[in-house]
Amino acid sequence: MEYFSLTEVTGYAASLVVLLSFLMKDVKRLRMVNIIGCLLFTMYGVFLDYSIPLITTNLAIVLINVVYLIKLRKRA
């Protein structure tokens, strides 16, 4: 029986979490779950021998989500 590697499991988990984030109705929750997914994708990029496009894109998305969460907090 063939087992999944840690890299594959991380990639699948990242995909699932990002997908689930888009099912959220609450924007704050969507962004928080998306941050988790993007951080998992960043880890996946590191596991793939430092895939710079994957790492930079997902870190940029994390940064964008954090900025918008801060803006949401200031409005409340």
How many domains does the structure of the chain reveal?
1
- What token pair was written down for 65? 């989500």
**11 in any annotated domain:** yes
Q: Which structural domain, as residue segments, surrounds residue 45?
A: 6-75
Residue 66 included in any domain: yes
Helix, coil or strand: residue 25: coil
- 44-52: long-range contacts (C-beta < 8 A, 24 or more apart)? 44/7, 44/10, 44/11, 44/14, 47/6, 47/7, 47/10, 48/7
Q: What is the pLDDT of residues 31-53, one digit of tens each?
A: 999 999 999 999 999 999 999 99
Share of the chain above pLDDT 70, in %: 99
Domain-embedded: residue 27: yes
